Structures are given as structure tokens and as C-alpha cells.
Amino acid sequence: MDQLQRKLRDYEAAMFQQGFLDDQFSQLQKLQDDSSPDFVIEVMTMFFDDSEKLLNNISRALEQIPVNFKQIDAYVHQQKGSSASVGAARVKNICATFRSFCEAQNRDG
């Protein structure tokens, strides 16, 4: 059991180190306590569900002709917001890049 916990801690540390997670994730962890013991899991589950929906929306929008960049930009903005809220730093940064492609109306980007 100890070993598992240690592994989990190491994995978590790696995520932070590699820039997948940022300080906001630590903030989430701080909000978890006895009165709300599953807070992090609940939020992350919501995040994954929400992200999946948004990604599907974005894929569909990219297949349309002509591509509605404004709509896609709106989806990406949402994705950026939620990833920032949960500390998913890499996703957040990717969204920023994505949005500049939207602005340039660069479908291939």
C-alpha cells in the first residue's frame, strides 16, 4: 500500500515537473478535506467529460465547410478556461496556440 502511495506521489510530482499540471491543481488538492473527500476526483471527472464533449464539438466543426472559426474559437476558449481552472497547464497552453490558429483562420494548424 505504501509502495502504491509512493508511486502515486512520484507520478504526481512528474506531472508537475513536466508541466502537465500547475499550481492550480495544488489549489484543488487544498480544497479537499474530510467534508469534501472526493473533491479532486469529482472535479477532474467533470473536466474529462466536459473536455470530451468540447473536443467532439471541435472535431465536428472542423469538418464543416466552410469552417466556422468563430465557433471553434468559442469552444477552445471554454476548454482553455476549464483547463486553467483545474491546473491542466499543458492543455491550457495548447488552447492558446489553437486560438491563434483560429484567428488566422488556419485550418491546417
Partner 1 sequence: MGLAAESQFHVLAVDDSIIDRKLIERLLKTSSYQVTTVDSGSKALEFLGLCENDETNPNTPSVFPNNHQEVEVNLVITDYCMPGMTGYDLLKKIKESSSLKNIPVVIMSSENVPSRINRCLEEGAEEFFLKPVRLSDLSRLKPHMKKTKLKHQKQETEQKFENSEIIQNDQKQTPKSQIQHSETESQSQTQLQAHSTIDQQQQSLQQGNNNKRKNMEQGLSSDTDRTRPRYSGIATVV
Out of 81, 97, 106, 107, the residue judged to bind partner 1 by CB under 8 A: 81
Q: Where are the alpha helices (DSSP H) in 1-109?
A: 2-17, 23-31, 39-63, 69-86, 89-103
The grid coordinates of residue 109 equal: 494548424
The grid coordinates of residue 68 equal: 466556422
The grid coordinates of residue 104 equal: 488566422
Per-residue contact flags (x/-) with partner 1 for residues 31 to 60, judged by CB under 8 A:
x-x--x--x--xx--xx--x----------
Out of 27, 29, 56, 100, the residue judged to bind partner 1 by CB under 8 A: 27
Part of the chain binding partner 1 (CB under 8 A), chosen from 6-14, 57-65, 75-83, 101-109: 75-83
Can you say whether the dihedral through the CA atoms of 71, 74, 78, 80 is positive or negative? positive
Give residues in contact with partner 1 (CB under 8 A): 22-24, 27-28, 30-31, 33, 36, 39, 42-43, 46-47, 50, 77-78, 80-82, 84-87
